[in-house]
Amino acid sequence: MWRNRDRATQVTCIACGETVSRSEAREYDKEGDRYDRSDKEFEYLCKPCHRELNHQPRGGLEQLLAESGAGDVSREEFLTRYTELATESEPRSESER
C-alpha cells in the first residue's frame, strides 16, 4: 500500500520543476559536500535530470546553474536560461534509454 503521498515525501526537481517522490530523487548539494548535513537544505534532481547533468563536467554544472540564476530568478526564467545554456554547451546527442 502506498500511503506516503504527503508533501514530506515529495521533492521538486530544481532543473525541470517536476515533483517526484523523495526516494526517486537525487540529492543535489550546491556545495558539493553531501556528508555535511547540518543546517542545510538539500535540493533535488529527478533521475533523468540528474543523469543529464552528470554528463557535464562538475565545474561546468556549477557555472551553468549560477549563470542560469538559480535561486535568484523565477523557476520559469531559470529553466529558460538553463535550457539555453545547457543546449549551447552540449550538443543534443545524449543516449536515450
Contacts with Zn ion by CB under 5 A lie at 13, 15-16, 18, 46, 49
Cell of 67: 549563470
10 Å CB burial of residue 14 (0-12, 13-18, 19+) is buried
10 Å CB burial of residue 8 (0-12, 13-18, 19+) is exposed
- The nearest distance, CB 20 to Zn ion, in angstroms, is 8
- The nearest distance, CB 35 to Zn ion, in angstroms, is 24
- Judged by beta carbon, residue 52 or residue 62, the one nearer Zn ion is 52
- Judged by beta carbon, residue 18 or residue 62, the one nearer Zn ion is 18
- Judged by beta carbon, residue 13 or residue 64, the one nearer Zn ion is 13
